[in-house]
């Protein structure tokens, strides 16, 4: 394909695709490169595509690329076309079965990882759970950067569980991570977990039900609403998590979770007055907004 065609496609993608602010790595250039590599049979994320040389395409692959570009222009998320997304520097599987991991969730991932690495220094084989795990992106990060933690993950949606299982195998962590299916902490309602968990993480759905259908079409029409809908005020799952977590955490264990914009301050205040927890820490984005909270079991 000649340079002029490539530039025309980059121009079309730039003009016709509304790039979303929560996926800053997606530009017209990274999108075309990721689709090109997908058409060539070696799919990669937008970030990986910027680091990967582009192979020559044959005629069939060129037709595949044209169809992929059109689908992207029609609003299909890039990660659904490539089936890849990078999270915390790790190339992972993605797809319509679960939320596409977002950049802002790296705030939660980094805070949990730091805590987990500290716990591993003083304790053998800490027990870690990630609920609402979606594609399994958070437990994969924990497995990649720790050596001894015993890691469990769960999601209510069977399709998300299946994607998470494929993802832990894809990233080489099938032996470190066990994926369960069930409602919030229900899969862990056993003596193996009750009062024994060192660290519990969660990126829950936290958008209010009324706002879910009004989200960008690319999100509302392609990503599962279960991943976003946090009930009438957006905090139904978060409230359940805060109520149910103490039963599973050991004294001194941590609960860490992501919050929506504007939810952090009020939740931090409420948690500061909650006797189940001894300590509250907040983690902010570049604009200073709280995007994750961590609380220590009393």
Ligand X SMILES: C[S@@+](CC[C@H](N)C(=O)[O-])C[C@H]1O[C@@H](n2cnc3c(N)ncnc32)[C@H](O)[C@@H]1O
Kindly write out the interface string for residues 39-78 of this chain, putting x where it contacts ligand X by CB under 6 A and - elsewhere: ----------------------------------------
Order of strands across the sheet with 277-284? 177-181, 150-155, 127-131, 197-202, 249-258, 290-297, 277-284
Q: Minimum Å distance from CB 185 to ligand X? A: 8
- HSE-up (13 A, CA, CB side) for residue 82: 30
Give me 165's structure tokens: 């299982």
Dist. CA 168–CA 132, nearest whole Å:
15
Using the rule CB under 6 A, give the single segment among 61-69, 126-134, 142-150, 188-196 that binds ligand X.
126-134
The count of residues interacting with ligand X (CB under 6 A) is 22
For ligand X, which residue of 113, 141, 143, 157 counts as binding (CB under 6 A)?
157
Cβ neighbors of 262 (< 8 A, separation 6 or more) are 289
Dist. CA 130–CA 286, nearest whole Å:
25
Dist. CA 131–CA 23, nearest whole Å:
23
Least Cα distance to 109 among 262, 255, 267, 258 occurs for: 258
Q: Residue 156 interacts with ligand X (CB under 6 A)?
A: yes
Kindly write out the interface string for residues 84-123 of this chain, putting x where it contacts ligand X by CB under 6 A and - elsewhere: --------------xx-x---x------------------
Q: Residue 129 interacts with ligand X (CB under 6 A)?
A: no
In terms of DSSP bridges, do strands 197-202 and 249-258 run parallel, antiparallel, or are they unpaired? parallel
Q: Minimum Å distance from CB 14 to ligand X? A: 27
Q: Residue 183 interacts with ligand X (CB under 6 A)?
A: yes
Kindly write out the interface string for residues 131-150 of this chain, putting x where it contacts ligand X by CB under 6 A and - elsewhere: xxxx--xx------------
Question: Closer to ligand X at the Cβ: 232 or 252?
Answer: 232
Least Cα distance to 147 among 108, 180, 113 occurs for: 113
Using the rule CB under 6 A, give the single segment among 43-51, 88-96, 144-152, 199-207 that binds ligand X.
199-207
Could you give the angle at the alpha carbon of 71 between the alpha carbons of 88 and 93, nearest 5°?
25
Using the rule CB under 6 A, give the single segment among 45-53, 114-122, 197-205, 264-272 that binds ligand X.
197-205
Question: Closer to ligand X at the Cβ: 155 or 198?
Answer: 155
Question: Closer to ligand X at the Cβ: 183 or 265?
Answer: 183
Question: Closer to ligand X at the Cβ: 98 or 177?
Answer: 98
CA distances from 173 to 91, 125, 147, 238 (A): 13, 16, 11, 28
Residue nearest to ligand X (CB): 134
Using the rule CB under 6 A, give the single segment among 2-10, 13-21, 78-86, 202-210 that binds ligand X.
202-210
Residues in the chain: 298
Q: Which of residues 223-282 bind ligand X (CB under 6 A)?
A: 226-227, 237
Q: Minimum Å distance from CB 226 to ligand X? A: 4
- According to DSSP, the residues that pair with 235 across neighbouring strands are none
Question: Closer to ligand X at the Cβ: 28 or 140?
Answer: 140
Burial of 280 (0-12, 13-18, 19+ CB in 10 A): middle
Residues that bind ligand X (CB under 6 A): 98-99, 101, 105, 131-134, 137-138, 155-157, 160, 183-184, 203-205, 226-227, 237
């Amino acid at each position: 394909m000649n340079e002029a065609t490539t530039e025309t496609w980059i121009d079309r993608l730039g003009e016709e695709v509304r790039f979303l602010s929560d996926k800053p790595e997606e530009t017209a250039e990274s999108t075309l490169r990721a689709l090109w590599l997908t058409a060539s049979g070696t799919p990669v994320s937008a970030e990986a595509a910027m680091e990967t040389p582009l192979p020559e395409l044959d005629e069939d692959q060129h037709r595949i690329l044209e169809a992929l570009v059109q689908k992207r222009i029609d609003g299909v998320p890039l990660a659904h076309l490539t089936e890849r997304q990078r999270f915390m520097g790790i190339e992972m599987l993605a797809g319509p079965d679960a939320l596409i991991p977002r950049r802002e969730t790296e705030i939660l991932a980094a805070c949990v990882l730091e805590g987990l690495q500290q716990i591993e220094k003083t304790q053998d084989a800490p027990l870690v759970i990630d609920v609402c795990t979606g594609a399994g992106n958070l437990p994969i990060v924990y497995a990649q950067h720790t050596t001894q933690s015993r890691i469990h993950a769960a999601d209510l949606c069977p399709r998300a569980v299946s994607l998470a299982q494929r993802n832990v195998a894809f990233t080489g962590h099938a032996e470190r991570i066990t994926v369960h299916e069930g409602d919030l902490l229900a899969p862990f309602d056993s003596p193996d977990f009750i009062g024994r968990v060192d660290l519990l993480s969660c990126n829950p759905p936290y958008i209010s039900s009324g706002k879910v259908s009004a989200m960008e079409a690319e999100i509302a029409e392609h990503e599962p609403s279960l991943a976003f809908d946090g009930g009438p005020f957006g905090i139904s799952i978060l409230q359940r998590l805060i109520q149910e977590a103490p039963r599973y955490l050991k004294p001194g264990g941590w609960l860490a979770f992501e919050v929506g914009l504007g939810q952090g301050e009020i939740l931090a205040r409420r948690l500061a007055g909650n006797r189940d927890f001894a300590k509250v820490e907040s983690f902010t984005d570049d604009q200073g907004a709280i995007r994750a909270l961590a609380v220590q079991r009393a």
